[in-house]
Amino acid sequence: MNKIIGTLAAATCVMATAFGAAACDFGTENAKSAYELAVENGFTGTEQEWLNSLRGANGSDGSDLDIEDVYAAAQKNGYEGTFLEFLKEYLSVDVSENNDTETIAHNMMSVVSIYCGFTVTETIQTGGIFSQPITREQTVCSAGSGVIVWLNKDAGNAYVITNYHVVYNVDSETGDSDGISDSIWLYLYGDLNTFDTSKGTDEENGIPATYVGGSMNYDIAVLEVQGSTVLSESSAEAAEIGDSESLAAGERVYAIGNPEGEGISVTEGVVSVDSEYLTMTGADEKTEVNLRVIRTDAAINSGNSGGGLFDASGKLVGITNAKRIDQLTSDNFGNIEVDESVDNIGYALPIMQVCYAVNNILDNGGTLRRATLGVTVQTTASDGTIDASGKASVTEEVTVVSVTDGSAADGVLQEGDVIRFIRFGDTGYEITRRYQITDLLLTVRSGDSVILTVERNGEEQNLSIAFDDSSYFQTVA
């Protein structure tokens, strides 16, 4: 039997020291291009004419040449670079190296380790069955990850996003007794970690952060750093936000986080599924939450929660939040068995949805308020194709199946309407997946009007819905 769980107590607090590795830098300022070497060897003409000479007169003499022949001809003229360098320098192709350490290095500078302290009350039995139990306070800690998404380096200010379950403990009595840690400490890659697990603090090397707001049902929390000298004097960078909507199965991705609370590390994999739903128990250990996620085979372990999922170009496409693990079971004879039917399944929240949620949280004073249409929609058709870029893609038809009386859509949308397009002001979105409806409602604010293009009885109509009533919004805890 398998059980899907999130890394809710991301990792037991540990004393960990992370060490940064020095990189070798081989200078290339004296290197000469193949064209420069050809000129030194007697060629006269422009660089384009030299390239044409390699191809042959009007390209016909060289019609049987392949790229290796062109490279060999360049070498005869004195070119000493590698074949890969030649491709990058002279051909209009996108060349990706297998070991892009520079891009990954920059990504690592935008990911932080997070350590949280919580005060909880423990009840213990001191003696025999007739003794009275006593209660005592103790400090418990957890570790996770986060990503810098906005940075003012000079001022030492930043916004960091992480998972809600990283900074929440259901038994916590800290702060306002809302379960959120009031002792949150961040560490950059390579920083000395002196977090005191007995006190749940670090006054020496950690970067203190405060909780701004979040949502358990979206598993997102926003942290703020202000006036940190450690941050202003560091190599920290804000992550470049990518487009999770364009992700496709098979694309290479990197998960960067703080597994087992032992410091920043990198794992590699691919996108297994670009979008699916994951049902799991929320941070309060009782609420069932339904999260839209990216599935990946990149290794994600306890402590990776809240870290970054980056694409091959180094852009942030997801926030890692959960993994699937094998469930230990026992048979009727008490023999322990391990179900090994699944492997290498981890999950990340799509960054576009995360950005919508974060902006919503910041605009609403720390809480998430999502606009509601008051309709139930379902996928009535779905088709998998290969798009123009060569990626596998899914296109869905989204149809209204019911409209709630008194809702924003009441009197506007009808059962059977196929939603084709949504426009907010000057920005429009073609609806090709059902999840887009819910995601885009995170961007609506009170006073906004939304234009929906629907297909009704075989004809397209443009319908307007005004969200000027507070009852059209729902607070999502």
Supply the CATH classification number for the domain 1-31+81-365: 2.40.10.120
**Among 119-123, 193-197, 230-234, which is the least confidently predicted range?**
119-123
The yes-or-no verdict on residue 428 having pLDDT over 70 is yes
pLDDT at 7: 33
CA distance 180 to 215: 11
The yes-or-no verdict on residue 378 having pLDDT over 90 is yes
Tokens encoding 426? 């000057």
- Domain 367-476 annotated CATH 3.30.70.600: no
Q: Tell me what the mean pLDDT of segment 254-283 comes to.
A: 95
53 phi and psi angles, rounded to 5 deg: -65, -30
Detail the DSSP E strand segments found in 336-476.
Answer: 336-338, 346-350, 368-371, 375-386, 392-403, 418-424, 427-430, 448-456, 459-467, 473-476
More confident: 85 or 307 = 307
Give the H or E element holding residue 170: none
pLDDT at 33: 65
Per-residue confidence at 27, pLDDT binned at 50, 70, 90?
very low
Q: Tell me what the mean pLDDT of segment 233-262 comes to.
A: 95
Domain boundaries, the chain: 1-31+81-365, 34-80, 367-476
The yes-or-no verdict on residue 251 having pLDDT over 90 is yes
Q: Judge contact between 308 and 110, C-beta under 8 A.
A: yes
pLDDT at 100: 82
**Among 6-10, 236-240, 245-249, 453-457, which is the least confidently predicted range?**
6-10
What would the pLDDT profile of 203-237 be if each residue is shown by its tens digit? Answer: 888 999 999 999 999 999 999 999 999 999 999 99
Q: Tell me what the mean pLDDT of segment 393-421 comes to.
A: 97
CA distance 273 to 289: 20
Report CA 270 to chain centroid distance, whole Å: 14
The yes-or-no verdict on residue 103 having pLDDT over 50 is yes
Sign of the CA dihedral with 261 first, then 266, 272, and 276 last:
positive
CA distance 261 to 10: 8
pLDDT at 98: 59
CA distance 123 to 139: 14
Q: What does pLDDT average to over the chain?
A: 83
Q: Tell me what the mean pLDDT of segment 303-323 comes to.
A: 95
